Copies of this chain bind each other. A is one copy, B any other.
């Protein structure tokens, strides 16, 4: 059975496993203090055009969000996020476990809007009782969003401006960053993101690594004793090399961008197939995740031949489903999909 269930159903891009094998018997320090982490750090700083960036490797997305958010917020602050944001909905309350509230705002196609954030912040400080409320202490956006959509450079710049005005950091969750950057519709570069955000992470788990996310603090703002924050969240890998070697490979010769581009090409082809077959798109996504509205009857039959993700109930008779491509999607997969549809 072919699968478009998600972008984490195959292992690692082969080159990464090869590098893990080649370096396997080298004696290296633990906890991220090895030469591969160091090399990966430098390559990422360069790609971001931000030589002063602090780069730290963590294993997974939820973990990264919790560590970054809780280490950057003050005790009395919460994080602003879209109602549909990953931290709001699909991380089982990993932010709340650290004592912080997710301040959920309305969204359009998964995206926060600068004027909505600004209005929220304005009203907060106008409220006579604001000392009885959770202070807004950070803005969280995902790029691409949970709906595969992208902020434009203009949109992210506006959000960044609002954050600057209120002096709160802007955090970009890049669990699928490569698929965003390589989209044909993207007008944001990695450099732009490093410049506009105070902290963001470059997703590895969903872009060809066995696991791993690279957190990038761009404004000399890595929280003091960040290693300790990571450790107390149980997120410090003894064999940090596992992350370092993979990211070092991903950022050698543009591999990260190349495999992301492949997934985007496959997604474009997949969209063409669905369009041709007359399927109804739930929204317009320019990245590797595509959402369709399908009748429940038809869904059942499809499920016998192809794997894909349930997203949400659309109405009594129809369901929104997600088809995702990845670095490992092949043209053969698409051929079969076309036949099935």
- In chain A between 276 and 334, which residues have their CB closer than 8 angstroms to a CB of chain B? 307, 309-310, 312-313, 328
| CB–CB B10/A27 < 8 A | yes
| CB–CB B225/A239 < 8 A | no
Cα distance, A236 to B129, chains bound together (Å)? 13
Does A219 lie at the interface of the complex (its beta carbon under 8 Å from any beta carbon of B)?
Answer: no
Q: Which of A38-46, A66-74, A158-166, A186-194 contacts B (4 or more CB under 8 A)?
A: A66-74
Whole-angstrom distance between the Cβ of A37 and the nearest chain B Cβ: 14
Whole-angstrom distance between the Cβ of A236 and the nearest chain B Cβ: 7
| CB–CB B211/A239 < 8 A | yes
| CB–CB A131/B238 < 8 A | no
Whole-angstrom distance between the Cβ of A33 and the nearest chain B Cβ: 11
Lowest 10 A-B CB distances belong to which pairs?
A63-B234, A11-B24, A92-B232, A92-B231, A93-B134, A8-B238, A128-B310, A76-B228, A62-B234, A96-B101
Given A8-B239, A96-B101, list of 15 further CB < 8 A pairs? A8-B30, A11-B20, A11-B242, A59-B59, A60-B238, A76-B225, A78-B93, A91-B132, A94-B231, A97-B99, A97-B233, A101-B101, A128-B310, A132-B231, A211-B239
Q: A8-B30, A76-B232, A97-B233 are in contact. Are A127 and B92 (CB under 8 A)?
A: no
Copies held by the complex = 4
Does A272 lie at the interface of the complex (its beta carbon under 8 Å from any beta carbon of B)?
Answer: no
| CB–CB A123/B313 < 8 A | yes
